[in-house]
Amino acid sequence: MCGIIGYIGSNVASQILTEGLKRLEYRGYDSVGIAVLDNSSLEIRKDIGMVDEVSTALQFTNVNGHIGLGHTRWATHGSVCRENSHPHFDSSKKIVAAHNGVIENFSKLRDDLLSKGHKFVSDTDSELIPHLIEEHAKDSNLLKAFIKSVLEIQGSYAIVALSSADSEERLFLARKNSPLIIGVGQGEMFCASDISAMLKHTKTFVPLEEGDIAILTKTGYKVYSVDGSEVQRKQITVDWNEDIAQKGGYSHFMLKEIHDQKHFINESLATDVTEAKKLIGEYEKIHVLGCGTSYHAGLILAHLLPDKNIHAFIASDYPFVAKPDEKTLIIAISQSGETADILQALRFAKNSSKIAITNTVESTITRICDITVYLNSGPEIGVAATKTFTSQLAVIFKLAREKPVGLSAIIEKMIEKENEIKAIAAKLAGSEHAFFLARGLNVPIANEGSLKFKEITYIHSEAYPGGELKHGTLSLITDGTPIIALAPKDETVIKLLGNIKEAKARGGLIISLTNDDNVKEESDFVIGLPDIEVSLYPFALIVPLQLLAYHVSVLRGINPDRPRNLAKSVTVE
Ligand code: M6R
């Protein structure tokens, strides 16, 4: 939630910040702003809207100066309006800060500051950060004032701050439960919520750890622990090409990422699962945790290990429904590795061994878990998870069974059907509801197809095991209601055919993903499936569902990369 960026060097800060914010926009896109220091003049430009629109209207790149910070917001505290957008000033307008996270003791801190004469112009919790620094700077140097301020804050934060009253040019950084990574350049330094925002400038990074405080100067960085003592942090180098974080000729990141699946699936299959597999072998009781798409991958994992006492949980609910102990192995699935719901669930399971499955190098989840299995999918920018879901499936199959073969070809075959899928999308674009039906191993794929569909088309959709239809939902099926049936020729198809007939008899418009002749006969539209090894059907099914959601979204005039109210990385509970 929220993207944060900082720059210090010899180049024009506003240009670097604006470019970086475009890369970070997937994290939140309610409003955007930058603050740049030019000699002693500290200027903020910010407003509601997307990065392109606001940065053009307010001429971000005309601001001079070589040190600055920027922010793209996903509102948590206070409505979407200019005043609530970041960065925020202190009372003297000499200190600015941008914040990602939630300050839990906000009311107390704000009341204290109000009693000391500070005036606030926004409803955000974040605005108190520059004021806190200002207050502590009355009797401390700036670094000490920053550390004291950070120590007072309870909750989650990634903070970047700077002051025009500083004796040297420095950026002040802090992180706890929200990602913040330093980018190491030659005579310039960067920081951002995500590596992709800095990839154009450097491939060397220092991910900050929980509770770290850091300062950046033009020529280097220092990291401190909360007691003010300097600490060393690991530098990492990534070999990602900047192109991965570009659209590469596709109209949207989501479409590119769907097409990219045929390549990245091989990278994911090459991931090392040896240690994780060994640990799974040692445990009988396994809890799989995830949210949204990652939860659906977790459901598949639970299906693939039927001999274990294994259960998949929605991470946000986990503390209310489970009792993990030292005999429980936790497998936590999270693309970002920063989802607050999953991190709190992992902290709840304090006595259990833990495996993380994530796409994000050095993310918080990797620090909490004992073993990490990486997805190696490259950065995923579209808010809707696509290639990382297929990667999760590939890794899960490798963990639970043998390494699956032929996946890239299966995915490619399904992508070739894009034009047919686009034509079907045109039939669905005016619908108000859609229902996804499947049985057995295909049910989590129906869940995922339905989530993708509602997330980016704003059409209400639900997914069911086919047998559930007659227990209530059938009353919603009337003339023309779209029924998307996942009906590969496997052990589920005969029973699902019965459910398809029930829906058709009530007027349902049947769109089937199938290679079964009987299902084809009952269908209004068919997306053909190849005849493949039955356990691999999830890989063939998910691709057309992603494409269907994508094309319906575009036909409805929605930007599938930035669906309303959502953000890529959900760092609040
Ligand atoms: O980064 P994570 O895998 O932990 O994210 C979990 C969900 O927020 C995420 O999968 C979300 O459901 C996607 N936007 C769905 O496309």
pLDDT band (50, 70, 90) for residue 513 = very high
Q: How far is the CA of 135 from the centre of ligand 1 (A)?
A: 39
Q: How far is the CA of 506 from the centre of ligand 1 (A)?
A: 34
Give CA–CA dist 330/99, Å, rounded: 31
Nearest residue (CA) to ligand 1, atom 8: 292
Q: How far is the CA of 498 from the centre of ligand 1 (A)?
A: 33
Helix (H/G/I), strand (E/B), else coil: 283: coil
pLDDT computed for residue 238 by the predictor? 85
Token output for 383: 């808010």
pLDDT band (50, 70, 90) for residue 35 = very high
Report which residue type is found at 68.
Answer: G
Catalytic site positions: 2, 568
For the Cβ of 294 lying below 6 angstroms from any atom of ligand 1, the answer is yes
pLDDT band (50, 70, 90) for residue 243 = low
134 contacts 90 by C-beta, under 8 angstroms: yes
Share of the chain above pLDDT 70, in %: 99
The radius of gyration computed from the CA coordinates of the chain, to the nearest angstrom, equals 25
pLDDT in tens, 42-57: 999 999 999 999 999 9
Report, in this order, helix, strand and coil percent for the chain, each rounded to 5: 40, 25, 35
Give CA–CA dist 20/197, Å, rounded: 5
Q: How far is the CA of 296 from the centre of ligand 1 (A)?
A: 10
pLDDT in tens, 407-446: 999 999 999 999 999 999 999 999 999 999 999 999 999 9
Lowest mean pLDDT among 86-90, 238-242, 471-475: 238-242
- Please say if the pLDDT value at position 516 is more than 90: yes
pLDDT computed for residue 346 by the predictor? 97
Q: Choose the residue to mutate in 252, 291, 454 for probing ligand 1, maximizing ligand atoms within 8 Å of C-beta.
A: 291
For the Cβ of 166 lying below 6 angstroms from any atom of ligand 1, the answer is no
For the Cβ of 206 lying below 6 angstroms from any atom of ligand 1, the answer is no
Nearest residue (CA) to ligand 1, atom 10: 293
pLDDT in tens, 253-284: 999 999 999 988 998 999 999 999 999 999 99
Nearest residue (CA) to ligand 1, atom 12: 292
Helix (H/G/I), strand (E/B), else coil: 414: helix
pLDDT computed for residue 302 by the predictor? 97
Q: Average pLDDT in the 227-247 region?
A: 82
Give CA–CA dist 329/348, Å, rounded: 13
Q: Choose the residue to mutate in 339, 383, 396, 572 for probing ligand 1, maximizing ligand atoms within 8 Å of C-beta.
A: 339
Give CA–CA dist 195/190, Å, rounded: 10
**What are the DSSP calls for 159-199, one per residue?**
EEEEETT-SS--EEEEEEBS--EEEE-SS-EEEESSGGGTT
CATH homologous superfamily of domain 3-246?
Aminohydrolase, N-terminal nucleophile (Ntn) domain (3.60.20.10)
Q: Choose the residue to mutate in 294, 372, 386, 542 for probing ligand 1, maximizing ligand atoms within 8 Å of C-beta.
A: 294
Q: Average pLDDT in the 518-541 region?
A: 97
φ, ψ for residue 570 (rounded to 5)? Answer: -100, 90
pLDDT computed for residue 75 by the predictor? 81
pLDDT band (50, 70, 90) for residue 322 = very high
Q: How far is the CA of 442 from the centre of ligand 1 (A)?
A: 19
Regarding beta strands 220-224 and 213-217, do their DSSP bridges make them parallel or antiparallel, or are they unpaired?
A: antiparallel
Q: Average pLDDT in the 526-535 region?
A: 96
In Å, what is the CA distance from 139 to each residue of 96, 127, 309, 408? 19, 21, 59, 62
pLDDT computed for residue 395 by the predictor? 97
In Å, what is the CA distance from 264 to each residue of 70, 256, 390? 31, 12, 9
pLDDT band (50, 70, 90) for residue 244 = low
pLDDT in tens, 450-509: 999 999 999 999 999 999 999 999 999 999 999 999 999 999 999 999 999 999 999 999
Q: Share the mean pLDDT of the chain.
A: 94
pLDDT band (50, 70, 90) for residue 196 = confident
pLDDT computed for residue 186 by the predictor? 95
Q: Average pLDDT in the 20-32 region?
A: 88
Is it true that the peptide bond before 404 is cis, omega within 30 degrees of 0? no
Q: How far is the CA of 69 from the centre of ligand 1 (A)?
A: 27
For the Cβ of 386 lying below 6 angstroms from any atom of ligand 1, the answer is no
For the Cβ of 129 lying below 6 angstroms from any atom of ligand 1, the answer is no
Share of the chain above pLDDT 90, in %: 86
- Please say if the pLDDT value at position 246 is more than 80: no
For the Cβ of 341 lying below 6 angstroms from any atom of ligand 1, the answer is no
Q: Average pLDDT in the 145-153 region?
A: 96
pLDDT in tens, 334-392: 999 999 999 999 999 999 999 999 998 888 899 899 999 999 998 898 999 999 999 99
More confident residue, 183 or 243: 183
pLDDT computed for residue 63 by the predictor? 95
User: Other CB atoms closer than 10 Å to residue 272's CB: what's the count?
Assistant: 12
